[in-house]
Structure 1
Amino acid sequence: MSAYLVDMEGRFRLTKKPPFLTPGYQAVGQKLDDVKGIYKRVPLEKDKTYEVPLHPQQTVVQFNSTYLETTGRNERRRGDAVGWGLIIGFVGLSMTSLYSFLLADLINNFDIFILSIVVFFAVMMPISYGLLINMLSTELFTTWHYPIRFNRKTRKVYVRQYNRKVEVYNWDDLIFFIAYINEDRDIRAVTFDKDGKTVTGMFALAFQNNVIDQSLISYFEFIRRYMEGNDEQLKEVKEAIRYIYPIHKKRETPLMSFKRLILNEVHYDHENIEYPERTFRIHPVQLITLPMLVLRYIGRVISMLTSYS
């Protein structure tokens, strides 16, 4: 299941989305047990204090006694869609050029040659729209930040989607759980209909990993304690924050994009990456993936440079 489709839609999308073009799921209107892609759930309780260290995991964008704002679930992947778009575009252009040259050698009739090119693009364009345009619309010429804001005064949670829509949830109505999906694990918040089974809303918190549940619980407790805690616990939350990601009023600089990419790739994110000097790890296998990291970095920079607040 694609993480991009967990809880967000592109700005441009098909009216009826064929499943082969948009692998993922639409949770709203389904029973939670029927939602595709989640093969295990671990419940999390809002009224229970988890005796774990608080780990903000460098996701905090704004913090005060009224609201806490974090990054969105896919901030760590920002630029990946553009990077893959560059690959798909290059491969598509190469195949089109090769196709044209082969036909030019094999077909002497110019009219048949032109017709074959038209047919080729008529077939490829719908596929390109579904796989590429919708994907790129999540990162190009759009907002540079998709925040999740927790307001402890009004007890509301605000989630900005890729299509710029802001979903508003009542904190007290949210049910949380750790979701095991194919690529990793994250923390889901879900609301139900009156029957207590049919999903009416779902989003994922900012932090995810595929190593241990303990790190996810530490992140959840950071959020939970902010919303549920007293003044003393609020102070604990504040003291846990070492880093504020400065993207609220300005987009990332290329240097900041590089740091965020490295933070997500060569650090043990199941530890507390508020202290990256303690979590830095590098392995020889990462040298093999270096070309892909370069492409992801280029994609992230392009995404930021074309986006606005």
Structure 2
Amino acid sequence: MLREDYETKFTTLNQPFEIGTPNKNGRLRLREIDIKSLKTDQLYPHRQVIRFNSTFVEVMDSWEFIRGRATALALPMWAALFFAISMFLFAIYSLYFKQVYWSIAIISCLTIGLVYLVYSNYKMAKYDLFGYTHYPIRFNQKTQKVYAFSPQQQKMIELNWRDLRFSAVKEGDDIELRASLVNADNIVEEEIIFPFLAPRYQPELVDQHLAFFKAYMQGGDLKRIDAAIPEFFDIYNRKETFKESFERVYMVNDIVERVQQKRPKERYMLSVSLNIIFWLPTLFLRRLGLLFSKIPEWPTHIEKECRIERNDTYDSTNKQRHLAPLKFSWAQILVIFLSGLILFSLAIVFFIGLAYLSWNYR
């Protein structure tokens, strides 16, 4: 469930719940948000809602923003390992060990080392490449429980809404919302990261994001809450399409669309163009992960607790609520294409130059 489950082990779990002081892993809680005194008329679910009804609301988790990064690290490592081992075996066999028994001994030792290295990289990427297509969070209004997947801990998290403490946590140049279960010794026992990242210059969006869940869990006007949802990213029991993958990856990399609930009239092409060297590979890796990942299934007892009423007016199942299609002008397409061509060419030249220098100065 945690963002760090996929990239690093730097979590706030088992750490003191402290404000304004970085913990030993460098995580900084900027402020605690008192849910009781939270006052805002703005509800900001962003574009993260999967399902909505009178019983529960289900949303994405923060993992969506970093999907593909662990795989991006693992795949080159696997390729480099196989190449290096193959070349080393060839060199040893050609130059020194033409006897069969020496070759077998060396190959056996290197095979064991290779298997270990491949497995260690697999552990890093398995939740990204061989895990679930997404890791949803579900808020049950009737039971007042919050359910979430925790792949790193290999368990489901079930927390009581009233037991949670909320805080805004610094995440690079952004701010994320976290819900923490804190024990009597002020130590975080469990934690959930909400799906939206607010830019540092708009910290009020964190409060508005929490206000959406507060309104729902505390019996707010469902009509008003439903109206605040701009679209349903309904991937319950299915894998997202290529079009959906493209729009989600693009959303993360367009700094305007990333923080708006509606499709902006003007696109900030600079961020999209400069980030193309990152978001095009991310799109490929996201699709690759979807190919090998399985659709998450909630345990039977949770589905039983989240049973939807037959004639629920607000049941979003099979409702088509989407933003306007993502469209580009020919000029924008040309800018993206040229930016990609230039940046990828520079990257290729850099790596060829690096390989050349390494070969000549070995």
User: Is TM (by shorter chain) over 0.5?
Assistant: yes
| Residue matched to 2:252 | 264
Once the two structures are aligned, what percentage of the paired residues are identical? 23
| Residue matched to 2:144 | 155
Say which one has the larger Rg: 2
Contact 2:43 2:212 (8 Å CA) reproduced: yes
| Residue matched to 2:291 | 305
| Residue matched to 1:280 | 267
1-structure distance, mates of 2:276, 2:13 = 38
Cα distance per residue 1:261-292 (max 9 Å; x no partner): 111112425632x2123473221x64454343
> Deviation of residue 155 (structure 1)?
0.9
1-structure distance, mates of 2:111, 2:264 = 51
TM-score by length of 2: 0.70
Bigger relative CO (Cα 8 Å, ≥ 6 apart): 1
Contact 2:173 2:200 (8 Å CA) reproduced: no
> Deviation of residue 168 (structure 1)?
0.5
2-structure distance, mates of 1:198, 1:96 = 45
Q: State which of 26, 31, 34 in structure 2 corresponds to 1:45.
A: 34
1:79 alignment partner AA: G
Cα distance per residue 1:86-141 (max 9 Å; x no partner): 222222222223323333443244444444444344344434323x2113321344
> Deviation of residue 229 (structure 1)?
5.0
1-structure distance, mates of 2:91, 2:148 = 50
Contact 1:269 1:279 (8 Å CA) reproduced: no
**Backbone CA RMSD of aligned residues:** 2.7
| Residue matched to 2:317 | none
1:204 alignment partner AA: I
> Deviation of residue 241 (structure 1)?
0.6
After superposition, the Cα gap between the structure-2 partners of 1:292 and 1:114, relative to the gap in structure 1 and judged at 3 Å, is farther
Does residue 296 of structure 1 match 2:278?
no
After superposition, the Cα gap between the structure-2 partners of 1:48 and 1:119, relative to the gap in structure 1 and judged at 3 Å, is same
| Residue matched to 2:226 | 238
Contact 1:80 1:300 (8 Å CA) reproduced: no
Contact 2:251 2:258 (8 Å CA) reproduced: no
Contact 1:145 1:248 (8 Å CA) reproduced: no
List 4+ stretches of structure 1 deviating above 6 A.
none
Cα distance per residue 1:236-265 (max 9 Å; x no partner): 321111100021121111221111111111
TM-score by length of 1: 0.81
| Residue matched to 2:191 | 202
Which stretch has the larger CA shift, 40-49 or 63-72? 40-49
